[in-house]
Structure 1
Amino acid sequence: MKLLLTRGRRLNPVYVAFMAISFMVGVAGALQAPTLSLFLTRDVAVRPFQVGLFYTVNAVAGIVVSLLLAKRSDTHGDRRMLILFCCLMALANAFLFAFNRHYLTLITLGVLLSSLANVAMPQLFALAREYADNSAREVVMFSSIMRAQLSLAWVIGPPLAFMLALNYGFAVMFMVAAALFALCLVLVWLALPSVARHELSPEVLLTHTRLWKDADVRMLFLASMLMWTCNTMYIIDMPLYISSTLGLPDKLAGLLMGTAAGLEVPAMLLAGYYVKRFGKRRMMLFAVGAGVLFYLGLVLFQQRNALMLLQVFNAIFIGIVAGLGMLWFQDLMPGRPGAATTLFSNSISTGVILAGVLQGTLVETFGHYSVYWLALLMAVVSLGLTARVRDV
């Protein structure tokens, strides 16, 4: 871990703080996200459509809030103070979900607090990049290690979330998340630096123009949106599908998510190693092909062991797409990395919005099983679109 060392071969406390904060924020998020649909169904007692509506409203609000705060954060104020504010909102949100069971309050005030809280992670990565640039550190490796903290958090978070929620109740689970955000507040205040802001060039300010004139960019956006729609429908529906339709133990949902997250780490590393040999296009086609096999498996098999084995395909799918998808956008849009990254992020957010609407509607109309048939169809269409995008 060369980048974590100073010239005196001592640990750099700022880098350690970045890693610790990203890990704790990741665990707190991984505690809340996998159990949200179960929480809304059991503790708040809402219909499946209202569960999907919650995810959709949350995603729309997240896009709006993140765009507003991201634009301001690049030109005004201290980014560290914004991270502190977001962690405080996350703490308030965890308290709200721990003690409130009123759907209207959760989908209004809860969604607002959640949208503000979700800005913390991208702002943390932005501050880390600025600090690394200013201190002449290894930016790429530092960013990769921070992303690995998120993957590790998702190995631990989902199983822990279901253990806490099922054995001690959702209130205890949300209070554990609140404690993690409180620790993050202290670390951000004491350990993270304030970095001087640089003036943005006119070229950077105009990066969002003419994004849709390239057919390859359009197809990759649509393909990516469908990929993330499939994944989000699975995350929303799977805990409910396992318990209500398959009659399997609730804790299995957390085990499946944790297994997939753990397998994503080697999938990411292997993809980074082999991408120079096979290219991003072939690696992405391989990943989406694995996604097709994953959703086909969900349609065909319902046994516990089969669901566990299918997580290998899920990990290949998400691990490679999450790692290489953004880089492919950047290759297709040379000179505009900011716009390319934003486009990739928006494909994820759009997928979440669609998933919330589709999952709730399908479950109420046709049942949980229909969700995986639609996911399979979307994965096949995504594979066809990805195959039409040029290699770079």
Structure 2
Amino acid sequence: MRTGEGIMKERLLFVWKIPSFPILFLANFIFGLSMSFFAPFSSLFGIDEVGMSNIGFGLFMTIMAIGGVVISTIIAKKSDMQLSRKKILIFTSLTGMLGYIGFAFVRDYVLLAIIAFVLLGSAAASVPQLWAYAREALHHANVPKEQAPFIMNVFRMFFALSWTVGPAIAAWLLAAIGFKGLFLFVAASYGIGLVVILFFLKDIPKIATVKKGVSTGVASYVRKPHIFGNLAAAMLLAAATSIHMLNAPQFVTKVLGGNELDVGLIFSVPPIFEVPMMIAVGMLATKLDNGLLIRIGFAIAAIYFSLFFFVNEPWQIYPLQILSAAQVSITSGIAISYFQDFIPQAQGTATTLYMNSTQIGNTVGYLMFGVLAEAMNYGNVIIIYAIFAIIALVCLILFGKEKQSANKSASFGMD
């Protein structure tokens, strides 16, 4: 009789043997590492290094987010219709490398905003396109559809692995060589990703083409009530998360009296727990309704943000990060498969639709952070984004019933 550990090893070995997946795991880790070097320290860069005001920094991050939404949406439509995903990934890796080289040397607000919109906005398409490629690779490998949530969670796990070391390494680099050196390391990460994709990733055919005369516009999908409701919830949680991401470093360094190393360690704790949690959640996703799991994840997020308000020492944040890991393991782990099932005939559009809803949420969060941080102290900002997370949970619960109704008649949005 096989033990649970034996079954787990067998399933992980099966995932590793899927064609192209070892290379995809590596690319996913590299992209995650690049993001983990910048995201936790973005507010320290804008406010402390460049000298932006809270509102100016919020506007700057908004410009970068809008660039990501606009450019990745255009790329998504092209990728589902005609362009090779490999060529797109080569392009986005190159723009990421050039963008962070610009961040290393430029300190002018306007030039930084242009770099953020054009280059890093293009680089934002890397992750959704890589994940869409992974879902298509599963199709070509004839992997059963019910196994997709588990496999995609393992795939997402490699993204989380990068965050177990990225913020701590970034904190060390920041202390040793400053933001210039840090951003050059980020650029180098994108450069490595470019080489990996260019020489080791194969082109694969699209899994389905949309029939002529059928609308492929984003609006045609968003108009479906169950899709709109879930995207609205995702947007609200993303807004709360982005405010938290920008506010936490300022809260730790300016209210709690911590330093950059504290920030790096705080952002490194959740991924340590995310790795085993994502495997567990992936296995649960093959047996339980993904909608139920998503609602549990949103509930944990609301609790986590609410408890953050009661912190008065940096070390108290560490145990709370386990809750952060739990909610990320669910909301980020199975969300991709959850939304891809809405539009199975257009994987790139489905993935990007979800990603863009979170990007729009990020945009709202960036603007809100700038305004809120200017009007109140960093501690009170926590109350606002905790409320955002609670509203997101309520929205998801209400529209979850609509999605179940849609399932009976439309099979997750398929006409």
State the TM-score, normalized to the length of structure 2: 0.84
Take 1:300 and 1:102, find their aligned partners in 2: how far apart are those partners?
38
Report what 2:90 is aligned to: 84
Alignment partner of 1:380 is 2:386: no
Report what 1:2 is aligned to: 14
Q: CA deviation at 1:210?
A: 4.7
Equivalent in 190, 198, 208 of residue 189 of structure 1: 198
Take 1:101 and 1:374, find their aligned partners in 2: how far apart are those partners?
31
1:26-65: per-residue Cα shift (whole Å, max 9, x none)?
Answer: 2112111221111111221111111111111111111100
Give 2:357's aligned amino acid: S
Report what 1:59 is aligned to: 65
Q: Answer with 172-181 or 71-80: which moved more.
A: 71-80
Give 1:54's aligned amino acid: F
Report what 1:161 is aligned to: 170
Take 1:376 and 1:208, find their aligned partners in 2: how far apart are those partners?
30
Take 1:274 and 1:142, find their aligned partners in 2: how far apart are those partners?
12
For structure 2, the residue ranges without an aligned partner over 5 or more in a row are 1-12, 405-415
Report what 2:327 is aligned to: 317
Equivalent in 295, 301, 309 of residue 291 of structure 1: 301
Take 1:15 and 1:220, find their aligned partners in 2: how far apart are those partners?
29
- 1:1-392 mapped onto 2 (5 Å cutoff): 1-5=13-17, 14-134=20-140, 136=142, 140=148, 143-197=152-206, 199-202=209-212, 205-206=215-216, 208=218, 210-211=220-221, 214-275=224-285, 279-329=289-339, 333=342, 338=347, 340-388=350-398, 389-390=400-401, 392=404
> Structure 1 residues 244, 326: CA separation in 2 closer, same or farther (over 3 Å shift)?
same
Q: CA deviation at 1:194?
A: 2.5
Q: CA RMSD in A?
A: 2.7
Q: CA deviation at 1:209?
A: 5.2
> Structure 1 residues 205, 151: CA separation in 2 closer, same or farther (over 3 Å shift)?
farther
Give 1:2's aligned amino acid: F
> Structure 1 residues 370, 147: CA separation in 2 closer, same or farther (over 3 Å shift)?
same
Take 1:92 and 1:179, find their aligned partners in 2: how far apart are those partners?
10
Take 1:181 and 1:151, find their aligned partners in 2: how far apart are those partners?
17
Q: CA deviation at 1:324?
A: 3.6
**Are the aligned partners of 2:128 and 2:355 in contact in 1 as well (CA < 8 Å)?**
no
Take 1:57 and 1:174, find their aligned partners in 2: how far apart are those partners?
19
Give 1:201's aligned amino acid: K
1:267-297: per-residue Cα shift (whole Å, max 9, x none)?
Answer: 3333333346653344333322222221221
Q: Tell me the matched-pair count.
A: 385
Take 1:334 and 1:68, find their aligned partners in 2: how far apart are those partners?
17
**Are the aligned partners of 1:3 and 1:137 in contact in 2 as well (CA < 8 Å)?**
no
Give 1:349's aligned amino acid: Q
State the TM-score, normalized to the length of structure 1: 0.88
> Structure 1 residues 121, 196: CA separation in 2 closer, same or farther (over 3 Å shift)?
same
Take 2:287 and 2:203, find their aligned partners in 1: how far apart are those partners?
40
For structure 1, the residue ranges without an aligned partner over 5 or more in a row are 7-11
**Are the aligned partners of 2:301 and 2:323 in contact in 1 as well (CA < 8 Å)?**
yes
> Structure 1 residues 214, 135: CA separation in 2 closer, same or farther (over 3 Å shift)?
closer
Q: CA deviation at 1:72?
A: 1.7
1:141-198: per-residue Cα shift (whole Å, max 9, x none)?
Answer: 6544332210101111111111111222111111112222222222222211133456
Identity of aligned residues (%): 23
Q: CA deviation at 1:5?
A: 3.9
